[in-house]
Structures are given as structure tokens and as C-alpha cells.
Structure 1
Amino acid sequence: MQGMRARPPLPAVLTAALVTLALAAVTVTPARAALSPSTPVLRPAVTARYPHDRAAFTEGLQYLGGGLLIESTGQVGESGVRRWELKSGRVLAEVPTPLASAFGEGVSVLNGVAYHLTWQSGVAFALDAATLRELGRYRYSGEGWGLTNDGRSLIMSDGSSTLFWRDPRTFAVTRTLRVADQGQPVKNLNELEYVQGSVYANIWLTDRIARIDPKTGNVTAWLDVQPLMQEASADAAHSAQPLTFDDVSNGIAFVPERGTLLLTGKRWPTVFEVKVPGLRPETGTTGRAGSRR
């Protein structure tokens, strides 16, 4: 999700002040204030940094293997799906979201098909993961935010505290799961990534990522990405293109051969590769473009 529509530029001084206030607000949102003190907080360690397109309003991110990523972007008239090289940031292929009036949302590749959500249009697209050619469309009710898969089913968020498992052949809901931290619902579930038996979820307008047990819905740990947000914000401001209040953390991709996560945000200048306690490298894997464990 999501974000505001295009707005006229503000004077530089006012823009800087709004960015400062917005970043402060991000760290005191209700979602963060409600965290249970008994839930572990993990602090990712940065191992590498890669360039990220400042025009990309990131809604979905997935590592395909071989140093390649697939990413979906939002904003009406700017939404699309792209494949690009991690090290260089070079875009290899890109298509607009097939419905021109739609606000593009998450993307997930399963068995060679890239499934791409829209925010409020109620339609998901099936694209060939290699060519990005459209293969089909599915209708669904409610909003679309984030999307991942566990190797069998698609897992979708809609901005609430509920995750939805969907059949990739029909897009029908086969299971729902309420997400909670020590009994308190966790709302604004956004971009998702299924990693080694857990679902990782960006929480919209916060600097936290929830690690969720897909069996119980319980948050088993929080990832604190505030340092990454601060670095991205400082770099953006230094280039005279400061982040706005909705350019928040969004985008999680697992690199199995290194056991690391790739983390970025909407219009961030950087993709951060990080080590997270509990994640391990996997041998004999090439990403998530096909079937999974």
C-alpha cells in the first residue's frame, strides 16, 4: 500500500520539516507502541548495499536466484513489474500493471508464474516470470497489499491483521490466519516473504518487520529496521530528493544461498543485504522462481 497520489512540490524548508516530523511519527506509531516487551527484537546486521531505483514505489520484492530480483511498484500510472540485477540495479525487463487505472501491489513467483496484486481494483494478474507476458487474471474481494508463497499456496495480506492463503490455480481463499503479538492484533500487514517456515511482514508506516508463525499467527520476533530507514533517509536528503512520509520500509527478499534478507523501501536509494539471527544458508537452491520446500 499504498501512499498518497501525486502532489505539488513544497518549498524545500517545509519539505525538510515535514520529512523530519514524518520520520519521527513512523517511530511512534500505535503498532510499535503496542509491542509486547516479551517478544524478541532482532537487529539485522548489514553485509552489503546495492543501488535501488528512486522512482520505484516498492510494493513487492522477491529474489529469483542468480543475482536477479523481481519487483512490483505502485502509484496509479506508475505501477508495474520488473526484473533487475541486484549488483548493478539494471532493469532487464519491465511491464506496466496490465490495468492502467490500477494501483499495483505485491508480487510473488511460484512455479514460473508471477502473481501481481492491485490495491483496490480487485484483480490479480498472472504473468510469465521470465517474459512478464500476461497469462491470465483473477478477481478477488477487498484490498490487495502484500504477496508471497510457501511453495504450494499464495499468501496474501490486505492491510488488516489477517493473512489469506490462496490457491494459485483459482486464487480462491483456502485458509485465513489472524496475526497477533501476545494476543494483540497486528494490523497493516504489508509486503510479505515466506522464509524457512516463517512469514516476514512489513508493517505499514512503521520501521518494524514481524516474523510470524504461519501455524498459530503469533509474532515470534520483530526486526528493527529503523537504522536502515535512517540511512536511506539521510542518503535521499543528501541527493536533494528527500523521502516523504509514505516512503517507508517495504520490500523483503530471501537469498537462500547466503541465508540473508534483502530489505528496501518505497523510493529508497538502497537495497540492504542483512544477516538476521536464526536464518541459515541453504544449499542446492536457486531462489524462489519455481517450487519450494
Structure 2
Amino acid sequence: MKFHKYFIVMLLAAFVSGCGDTSENANDLFSIQIKENKKVYTPAETISVSLQNIKNRDISSVTYLLDDDVIASVEGTAPVSVSLSEKKLGQRNLKARIESNGSTYSVTKIFTMVASEKPKLYTYKILERYPHDRDAYTQGLEFENDTLYESTGQYKSSSLRKTNYTTGEVLEQVPLPETYFGEGLTILNDKIYQLTWQENTGFIYNLATLEKKGTFVYGASKEGWGLCNDGTNIYKSDGTEKIWTLSPETLGEEGYIEIYTNTSKIPRVNELEWVEGKIYANIYQQSAIAIVNPTNGAVEGVINLSNLKDEVTQHDKLDVLNGIAYKGEPNILYVTGKNWDQLFKIEIIEK
């Protein structure tokens, strides 16, 4: 019996030895080096990446991955050139998978990518003013032909509305249950999609009847803020620097971009609108709209809407700019805010 136990122990030891000892901390053995060693990088750059072999281990191969996509494979510690062109902005994970003495090790280096160029600056000109319900805590705004649909917030008073934008008349209204706080909306394939804030629930309505047809839940995007669509995909903001792409079939999250200028991220992205291939995004508590590249998250322009809030009736419940609608007119937007008594048709003018 003793011999039998000894034989099993020796067999297990030989098996572990043959598979390689991966109990060592990979970060004590290897590290990723970027030759440029900067705080931030841009899509216009190509970086030189290599592996530091801290304890001079035998290395058979190194595979580099950027956000889990393989970008290069080399023998030993030879440097590789990595183009950052067409890569998404934000926090990127560069990983090295090392084969050494029959074992596989993995080390990671995190770096930040920002936009290559400064955003263009825009101002505005008021073209027309329309009445708007002062009690509407505007969260989402979108045209379907000449009809303006609006989502309003606040517990016990959230709603979905179909309105005549020229008169401010609410043609139809669907109240949300009192426990839901309404947020952004968008219209796609004869359906209206409406978010709620912290309830992890979105509502789906029939466009023609406003009848509620279903619900959907969020995944990693914990909150609901803004929605828009490009005719195929739906985009969702969650109050951070992220904009998520949702499947139009399942409403599941398929990935995200992070919103960055050439210097820093833009947090608290709110109401969204799709305008001629770009995402226009309200920045919460800022009198500004960011023009975002939906492919990589670069802020290509900023529309300064300072003083627009001063154009509406001032009162105790008056809140921030929020609500962007586009009707297909070049350089024209329709904007309002939370508890504003006017909807503005404005022309966007580059400074």
C-alpha cells in the first residue's frame, strides 16, 4: 500500500513537471514595454512593443493581443510595430501571451488612446421658437416625419409623448408606472424604444398606437440615459463616457465606444441623436453637444449652446439643456431642456 501511494505521488509530480509550473507570478517574470512610453496615444501613431524577460527565461513564442484581438506573434522578445489606426479610444488592454518551458504566461499593459485632432468648435443661431410643455422633464426627443416624440422623466410623472412640435400640443401620452424614471428614446422599424434610469428596464411600443409591446433589460451598462439609432443599430448612453451598441433584434449589448477629445474623456454622456453619420450627444450639466465619431469615440466637434437656457422663462424647476432632434435639414437641430417652455430650431455654425 505504501508503494502504491508513493507511485501515485511520483506520477502526479511528473505530470505537473511535464505541464510546466505556472504557479509563478507572470508579472515577476515578464513585462510589456512600449518604446515611446507616453501617457496617451492617438490612432495616428504606430507603437513599438516588446517583452522584457526579467529572469531570462527561455521563450519559444510571444503573441500580442489588443483587447483580445491578436495583433502579432513573434519568437523570443523581438519588438513588433503595432499600428493604432482604426482602434477605439479610451482604456486599451495590451496583452502578451508567452510560451516558456512548456507553460503559458500572460501579462497586460493598460494604456489610453485619445483623439488625433482637436474638436472643431461651433456656435448657433436661433431660427424659430415653438411652445413646449414647461412641466416636461425632457429626456429624449426624436422626429418621425413631422411628428415629434418625447420621453419625460421624474418618478410619478414620467411619460412617452407624441406631440405637435409647432404648437407644443401633446397629441397622445402614455404614463410610466410611478416606480419608473423615464429616460431617452429612439424609433426604429415602427417601434419606439424608451429607457428608464436605474430600473434596468427599457420599454418597447408600437409606433402607430403607442401600445406597449414588450420590455428589455440592460447588461453591463447599469443605467439608462440616452438612445439613438443609425437605421440598423441602436446606441445607448449610460451616464459615463461610454456609448453602447445594442442589437436591434435582442437589445443586447454588442460593445461600446469611449468618448474622448484629444486630451481627455467626456463623462456623463446623456441624450443622443444620430445626425448624418455622427452621434450628437448632450453632455449632462453642460450647455454643449459633442459630435462623436461612432466608430472610435473621437469628439470631432463641440457645439457651444451657452446662453440658450436664458432664452426661456426662468422658474424654480428650470433645469439643464437636454433634448436633440434632427429632421433631415442640413446644419439644423431642434433642442430644448428639462422643464423649458420653448423648443428651439437652431442653425449650427462653425466658428
User: TM class, shorter-chain normalised?
Assistant: 0.7 to 0.9
1:106 corresponds to: 184
Instruction: State how far apart, in whole Å, the 2-side matches of 1:63 and 1:273 are.
Output: 13
Match for 2:125 among 13, 38, 45? 45
- 8 Å contact kept, 1:104–1:117: yes
User: Following TM superposition, by how much is the alpha carbon of 1:37 offset from its aligned partner in structure 2, in angstroms?
Assistant: 10
2:206 corresponds to: 128
Instruction: State how far apart, in whole Å, the 2-side matches of 1:129 and 1:194 are.
Output: 19
2:243 corresponds to: 163
Would you say 1:205 and 2:277 are equivalent positions?
Answer: no
- What is the TM-score of this pair, normalised by structure 1? 0.76
Structure 1: where are the runs of 5+ without partners? Answer: 1-35, 279-293
- Counterpart mapping for 1:165-244 below 5 A: 165-232=245-312, 236-237=313-314, 241-244=315-318
Question: What is the letter of the counterpart of residue 200 of structure 1?
Answer: Y
Would you say 1:95 and 2:174 are equivalent positions?
Answer: yes
Q: Give the secondary-structure state (helix, strand or coil) at the position aligned to 2:150.
A: strand
User: Following TM superposition, by how much is the alpha carbon of 1:127 offset from its aligned partner in structure 2, in angstroms?
Assistant: 0.4
RCO comparison, higher one (Cα < 8 Å, 6+): 1
Question: What is the letter of the counterpart of residue 129 of structure 1?
Answer: L
Match for 1:63 among 116, 125, 143? 143
- 8 Å contact kept, 2:118–2:261: no
Instruction: State how far apart, in whole Å, the 2-side matches of 1:58 and 1:79 are.
Output: 9
- What is the TM-score of this pair, normalised by structure 2? 0.64
Match for 2:218 among 129, 137, 140? 140
Q: Give the secondary-structure state (helix, strand or coil) at the position aligned to 2:307.
A: helix
- 8 Å contact kept, 2:139–2:323: yes
- 8 Å contact kept, 1:243–1:268: no
Identity of aligned residues (%): 36
User: Following TM superposition, by how much is the alpha carbon of 1:216 offset from its aligned partner in structure 2, in angstroms?
Assistant: 1.7
Instruction: State how far apart, in whole Å, the 1-side matches of 2:127 and 2:211 are.
Output: 34
Instruction: State how far apart, in whole Å, the 2-side matches of 1:217 and 1:178 are.
Output: 5
Match for 2:328 among 256, 266, 276? 256
Instruction: State how far apart, in whole Å, the 2-side matches of 1:211 and 1:41 are.
Output: 10
Q: Per-residue displacement from partner, 1:81-103 (whole Å, max 9, x unpaired)?
A: 00000111111110012x43011
Question: What is the letter of the counterpart of residue 345 of structure 2?
Answer: E
Match for 1:270 among 318, 327, 342? 342
- 8 Å contact kept, 2:259–2:297: yes
User: Following TM superposition, by how much is the alpha carbon of 1:52 offset from its aligned partner in structure 2, in angstroms?
Assistant: 0.6
Instruction: State how far apart, in whole Å, the 2-side matches of 1:60 and 1:70 are.
Output: 8
- After superposition, the Cα gap between the structure-2 partners of 1:172 and 1:65, relative to the gap in structure 1 and judged at 3 Å, is same
Instruction: State how far apart, in whole Å, the 2-side matches of 1:79 and 1:166 are.
Output: 23
- After superposition, the Cα gap between the structure-2 partners of 1:40 and 1:259, relative to the gap in structure 1 and judged at 3 Å, is closer
Kindly name which structure, 1 or 2, has the bigger radius of gyration based on alpha carbons: 2
Instruction: State how far apart, in whole Å, the 1-side matches of 2:333 and 2:204 are.
Output: 25
Instruction: State how far apart, in whole Å, the 2-side matches of 1:39 and 1:150 are.
Output: 22
Q: Give the secondary-structure state (helix, strand or coil) at the position aligned to 1:226.
A: coil
User: Following TM superposition, by how much is the alpha carbon of 1:109 offset from its aligned partner in structure 2, in angstroms?
Assistant: 0.4
1:54 corresponds to: 134
Higher relative strand content = 2
Question: What is the letter of the counterpart of residue 231 of structure 1?
Answer: E
Q: Give the secondary-structure state (helix, strand or coil) at the position aligned to 1:230.
A: helix
User: Following TM superposition, by how much is the alpha carbon of 1:231 offset from its aligned partner in structure 2, in angstroms?
Assistant: 1.3
Q: Give the secondary-structure state (helix, strand or coil) at the position aligned to 2:339.
A: coil
1:4 corresponds to: none
- After superposition, the Cα gap between the structure-2 partners of 1:212 and 1:258, relative to the gap in structure 1 and judged at 3 Å, is closer
- 8 Å contact kept, 1:51–1:271: yes
The runs of 4+ residues in structure 1 deviating greater than 6 Å are: none
- 8 Å contact kept, 2:182–2:196: yes
- After superposition, the Cα gap between the structure-2 partners of 1:171 and 1:220, relative to the gap in structure 1 and judged at 3 Å, is same
Q: Per-residue displacement from partner, 1:4-60 (whole Å, max 9, x unpaired)?
A: xxxxxxxxxxxxxxxxxxxxxxxxxxxxxxxx9943220011111111100000000
Would you say 1:76 and 2:155 are equivalent positions?
Answer: yes
Instruction: State how far apart, in whole Å, the 1-side matches of 2:117 and 2:213 are.
Output: 46
Q: Give the secondary-structure state (helix, strand or coil) at the position aligned to 1:87.
A: coil
- 8 Å contact kept, 1:199–1:212: yes
- 8 Å contact kept, 2:293–2:300: yes
Q: Give the secondary-structure state (helix, strand or coil) at the position aligned to 2:270.
A: strand
Q: Which moved more, 1:249-258 or 1:192-201?
A: 249-258
